[in-house]
Amino acid sequence: MTPPAHVTYTVQVADLATTRYRVSVKAEGLRDPEVAFQLPAWTPGWYVLRGNERNLSGFSATGPTQKPLPLKQSDAHTWRVSTEGAASVTFSYDLKASDTGFGFFEPYLDRQHGFVPGPAALTYVVDGKEAPCTIDYQLPKGWQVASGNTPVAGKPHTFSAPNYDTLADQPAELGTFTRIDRTIQSTPFSVVFTGGDPTRYARWAESVFKIAQAGIQVFGGAPFERYVFFFHFSREGSFFGGLEHLNSTVLRLDPSNLRQPDAENLTIVAHEFIHAWNIKRIRPAALGPFDYMRPVRVRDLWFAEGVTDYFAPLLTVMAGLGTQRFWLGYQAEQLTQLQSNPSRHRVTLEETSSKVWESQEESEGYGGLSYYNKGLVVGLLLDIELRKRTANTIGLIDVLKDLLAQCQKSGRGYAEGEIERTASRLAKSDLSSFFERALRSTDELQIIEQLAAGGILAEAAVSKSATLGIGWDLSQVGQAKIGIVTPQGPAAKAGLLPGDVILSVDGQPLEALLGGAFTTQKPGDTLRLTYQRSGVTQQATLTLGTEEATSFRLRPAPRPTTSQAGILAGLSGKPTL
């Protein structure tokens, strides 16, 4: 198909009472007898098919003189219009704002706010995603709009983008929100707030700006023309966390976080900001241009997410919000999580990256192994390995900078294997045995020895405790939903399945047990569980198993060599000696 010359989107707040938008997509410069419009089946950054198309209804298609044109839906995501010779076609639909909180992956609307995430709201022209776009928001009186897309001069509610991928990647916040602006090293930044205590906004924004400054410093410049941090402070809704975009990020946090704008609460902000480089611009080749119709398998998600998470606490230290002690504590927690997780014996890091689509409940990995968690640990060990082999002249950050330069030069993402090739080239040393073990085997990582080379004394304590043999699905706040069931484990033997929601244990409601959950139980004890499956309440009796956990404490080595002290300083953000 010949692509359109230009696509104009109009998003109108159509009905506050029924929380509906009306979306119009006008494709111009058409030459073919038919034009097709398609809604993405997934949202980049969250590797789950969410069924966004269920929010669309009331379809119509018109030509340039408002003349109705024949329209048919050919599958769940695709609508085809016969142009009848018209060069311009407008496809319109109602969009139900179905999110129950402040919005995240799905559109949201209430009397003060709206949130429009591109992939769940905006259809693209099939074979025409490369066409330049503009988007205009038609809003109730007094509402404003904020977005990472390019503002159109003289039109405060209109933005432009060079293509659909860019347009859709930038969500828009609508309504009567608070916005705080700051220019950092010639780049304009905005922090947009919804919810929480407004008297705390200014201090929070100060910490966010320090993180922005640290990020630019670490990567040696900003790769975007502007950047927006969207904060939704709320206890309502379906998702806590953050999602990265090209020039912005959306974070959904608990309102209590606003009281302490410190490293603890802002590491997630640093994580999302690092994504502006790692994944958005240093990106696996399969992640852009996107195939929105199919799951896209990527074996390097450990690098995109885990290594991003590895650098997040470093950014808070460099921003002056955290200390080396905080940095060590963060790494120790991640080591404890990994070394207490039996899934590390069954699933490799590349497997958990590429098979994430097969565990639809949680977008963090496959088979119980999180690519965030093991990816972070491998990032830490790789950073030490690089510094060890290069007299502390090359670190993991140099691998990211080199990959960034490669991606910017080629205009494409990096190929499979490119991370390993780049690391070996920069280290002038063959790192294949390191990568083989870390990414493609389930062999134990050499944690204690490697940390020692990095000037870190690791103390590991092994403990035995009772286990249910499940991993919780944390995507639903306030619900004890099972995400993972360990094969042959206690829950599996009791017949429990992923998706089951535990309602009570031994007759006690689960809220009373969570937090201090199951701490008084011993391996071999039996529990009576009441749970819900497909709306039906059922009972199961479960015998607790034994779980071995290794917990880590990290501190600087007491008498480090010059090399060890230098590596630790390089890793944790202190100036090298």
Residues that bind Zn ion (CB under 5 A): 305
Q: Shortest distance, CB of residue 272 to Zn ion, whole angstroms?
A: 7
Nearer to Zn ion, 305 or 418 (CB): 305
Angle at 471 between CA 466 and CA 472, to 5 degrees: 115
Nearer to Zn ion, 39 or 407 (CB): 407
Nearest Cα residue to 90 out of 69, 119, 74, 120? 69
CA distances from 297 to 353, 395, 542 (A): 8, 28, 36
CA distances from 28 to 71, 80, 91, 123 (A): 17, 15, 11, 15
In the three-class reduction of DSSP (H, G, I as helix; E, B as strand; rest coil), residue 267 is classed as helix
Could you write out the three-class secondary structure of 431-473?
CHHHHHHHHHCCCCCCHHHHHHHCCEEEEEEEEEEEECCEEEE
Residue 199: which residues within 8 A CB-CB, separation 6 or more? none
Q: Shortest distance, CB of residue 474 to Zn ion, whole angstroms?
A: 15
Nearer to Zn ion, 300 or 305 (CB): 305
DSSP 270: H
Task: Please check whether residue 321 is in contact with residue 266, taking contact to mean a CB–CB distance below 8 angstroms.
Answer: yes
CA distances from 526 to 409, 411, 415, 470, 494 (A): 61, 58, 50, 15, 11
Nearer to Zn ion, 135 or 376 (CB): 376
Q: Give the residue at shortest CB distance from Zn ion.
A: 305
Nearer to Zn ion, 309 or 420 (CB): 309
Nearer to Zn ion, 305 or 402 (CB): 305
Nearer to Zn ion, 21 or 227 (CB): 227
Task: Please check whether residue 317 is in contact with residue 572, taking contact to mean a CB–CB distance below 8 angstroms.
Answer: yes
Task: Please check whether residue 500 is in contact with residue 542, taking contact to mean a CB–CB distance below 8 angstroms.
Answer: no
Nearer to Zn ion, 93 or 311 (CB): 311
Q: Shortest distance, CB of residue 242 to Zn ion, whole angstroms?
A: 7
Nearer to Zn ion, 169 or 305 (CB): 305
381: its two tokens: 């060990």
Q: Shortest distance, CB of residue 47 to Zn ion, whole angstroms?
A: 11
Q: Shortest distance, CB of residue 279 to Zn ion, whole angstroms?
A: 7
Instruction: List, as one string, the DSSP characters of 399-431.
Output: HHHHHHHHHHHHSSPBPTTHHHHHHHHHHTS--
Q: Shortest distance, CB of residue 361 to Zn ion, whole angstroms?
A: 18
Question: What is the rounded CA–CA span in Å between residue 104 and residue 45?
Answer: 12
Interstrand relation of 456-467 and 470-473 (parallel, antiparallel or unpaired): unpaired
Nearer to Zn ion, 305 or 351 (CB): 305
Q: Shortest distance, CB of residue 530 to Zn ion, whole angstroms?
A: 35
Q: Shortest distance, CB of residue 244 to Zn ion, whole angstroms?
A: 6
Q: Shortest distance, CB of residue 371 to Zn ion, whole angstroms?
A: 10
Instruction: List, as one string, the DSSP characters of 298-346.
Output: -TTHIIIIIIHHHHHHHHHHHTTSS-HHHHHHHHHHHHHHHHT-GGGGT
Q: Shortest distance, CB of residue 306 to Zn ion, whole angstroms?
A: 9
Nearer to Zn ion, 93 or 290 (CB): 290
Buried b (16+ CB within 10 A) or exposed e, 356-365: bbebebbbbb
Question: What is the rounded CA–CA span in Å between residue 539 and residue 495?
Answer: 10
Containing H/E element for 389?
A: helix 371-389
Nearer to Zn ion, 378 or 447 (CB): 378
Q: Shortest distance, CB of residue 379 to Zn ion, whole angstroms?
A: 13
Task: Please check whether residue 133 is in contact with residue 164, taking contact to mean a CB–CB distance below 8 angstroms.
Answer: yes
Q: Shortest distance, CB of residue 201 to Zn ion, whole angstroms?
A: 24
CA distances from 239 to 39, 120, 197, 371, 473 (A): 22, 15, 20, 19, 11
Question: What is the rounded CA–CA span in Å between residue 185 and residue 256?
Answer: 31
Task: Please check whether residue 16 is in contact with residue 116, taking contact to mean a CB–CB distance below 8 angstroms.
Answer: no
